[in-house]
Amino acid sequence: MKVKELVLNQYSGRVYKNRKDHIIEVEEGIDPVQPITANTRALPGIMTNRGCCYAGCKGVVLGPVKDVLTITHGPIGCGFYSWGTRRNKANVESGENFIQYCFSTDMQESDIVFGGEKKLRQAIDEAMSMFSPKGIFICSTCPVGLIGDDIHAVAAEAEEKYGITCVAFSCEGYKGVSQSGGHHIANNGLMRRVIGTGDKEINSKFKVNLLGEYNIGGDGWETERILKRIGYDVVSIFTGDGSFEDISNAHKADLNLVMCHRSINYIAEMMHTKYGTDWLKVNFIGIESTVQTLRDIAKFFDDPELYARTEEVIADELASIEEERAYYRTKLSGKTAALYVGGSRAHHYQSLLADFGVSTVLAGYEFAHRDDYEGRQVLDGLKEDADSKNIESITVEADPEKYRVFLTKERYEKLKNEIPLESYNGMIRDMKTGSYVVDDLNHFETEEFVRLLEPDIFFSGVKDKYVVQKAGVLSKQLHSYDYSGPYSGFNGSIIFARDLVMGLYTPAWNYVTPPWKNQSTLQAALAAGGEM
């Protein structure tokens, strides 16, 4: 019996029916690729690893913006997520950095009963008196949407009172089916109120934005270093180490480089429509994938000097890591890995693992849509459901003053066939025959697939990291890198390989025997009082 059926057959009929289409075994030569069910509600009682809409808006997209003060309007329990849960590093040369703070209105029972708008106004007043930020973001949590606080009206009052940009995001946790809904809401707010408002003069020749890069462990800095070596001007990063001013001037870039497709594709599409900015799907995770990405970007700009400089930098970077790359490949070649990560990381990291001879036996996303798995080709056939309609959607039109086209129509059509321009083919196409793709992998399935597939390494987040380690399998976080990194680019690949070798060759959890393996942990007594 196949591994998929061994896992599914342990479910009741109702759960089996729900989960069977979320799990596929990759087959050879199927085109279009095998369909998978995604972006649907997890069944009640299933221990999913997903986050909520608020987590996607505040925790992923808005949180890394360093010089905007973001207030969580809700109970302090929700506010905890706004502080210290992700390693979004920021470099402050001038101005403020609010990432290290946790700002919350700390709603109590009385605020739920009588309304929390007064408390939100007070929080804004305190923030302005203490910090004088350039801008304020307000993120609402579940109770706010249920009681009807008008955070948008409060934001408008603050703008008039203080003369700053104050943007409210109705990202109540219950909206949508996962944190993906929060990404969409954050993208809409940034597009509507921030992007395009800047007037900075940028006269450099090759201007790019880096979208879907959150600078976990310094990834954004390493990527930016490589791009600057070649001669690119990175106008803004969305949103790792991002600033309000940089994001407001993002419309002046010639090309958007999209890393995390799911969290930022809405902005990429809207900027293409409103400002004419083309977008390119890239991957700076992995040695060969970074090389390919740099060549794709150079092909977009089609400049002889840029081509030459790109190859010069690639050769220099590869030479600097050649010895360590060969060493770590001897230590990692033949190992197997399973990945369950958000965004596009479960796809990106397969390239990096392959660079060192590690094959992927299972991969899945927490909050993906079908196009993240099967490619954007399926978008036209997707039907909008009730959960999708619950997420705010905005329509943009070409800006009569700021819209500009970098490529001619003929050049655009030619490049579409050569590089991933306004395109993403999804994860499944790059996975080997016989490997497994699992959407919304839950705790039970995690333990079963680890037991049956026996991967040497499991990549995921903090929610299931320790369960896997107690099963004797090395588990690495790809949400915070276990306080290591960066993992992007050429140097990052070596740091990644080093961390894996340290973990694999120090298998501490294999020496731990859980107490329930060799002694009873149950105690009971007879009704009459006698001890069993």
The helix (run of H) or strand (run of E) holding residue 280 is strand 278-281
CA dihedral for 379, 382, 387, 389, sign (positive or negative)? positive
| DSSP characters over 370-437 | HHHHH-GGGGGGPPP-HHHHTS--------TTT---SS-HHHHHHHHTTS-BT----SGGGSPTT-EE
Say how far apart CA 23 and CA 8 lie, in whole Å.
9
Starting at the earlier edge strand, list the strands of the sheet with 103-104.
103-104, 68-73, 135-140, 165-169
At residue 186, the 3 state secondary structure works out as: helix
**Phi and psi torsions of 376, nearest 5°:** -70, -5
**Which position among 53, 55, 346, 354 bears the catalytic label?**
55
Q: Where are the alpha helices (DSSP H) in 53-179?
A: 53-54, 76-79, 109-114, 117-131, 142-147, 151-162
Specify whether the CB–CB gap between 494 and 321 falls below 8 A.
yes
Closest CA to 337 of 246, 198, 460, 184: 460
At residue 239, the 3 state secondary structure works out as: strand
**Which position among 52, 123, 171, 497 bears the catalytic label?**
52
Contacts of 518 (CB under 8 A, 6+ apart): none
Please confirm, yes or no, whether 171 is among the known catalytic residues: no
Burial class (CB in 10 A: 0-12, 13-18, 19+), 344: buried
Closest CA to 84 of 102, 66, 69: 102
Amino acid type, 386? A
**Which position among 183, 193, 345, 347 bears the catalytic label?**
183
Closest CA to 287 of 258, 314, 256: 314
List the structure tokens of 500. 């894996």
Please confirm, yes or no, whether 183 is among the known catalytic residues: yes
List the structure tokens of 308. 């030459």
**Which position among 86, 87, 348, 376 bears the catalytic label?**
86
Specify whether the CB–CB gap between 305 and 427 falls below 8 A.
no
How many C-beta atoms surround the C-beta of residue 264 within 10 A? 29
Please confirm, yes or no, whether 152 is among the known catalytic residues: no
**Active-site residues: which are they?**
52, 55, 86, 183
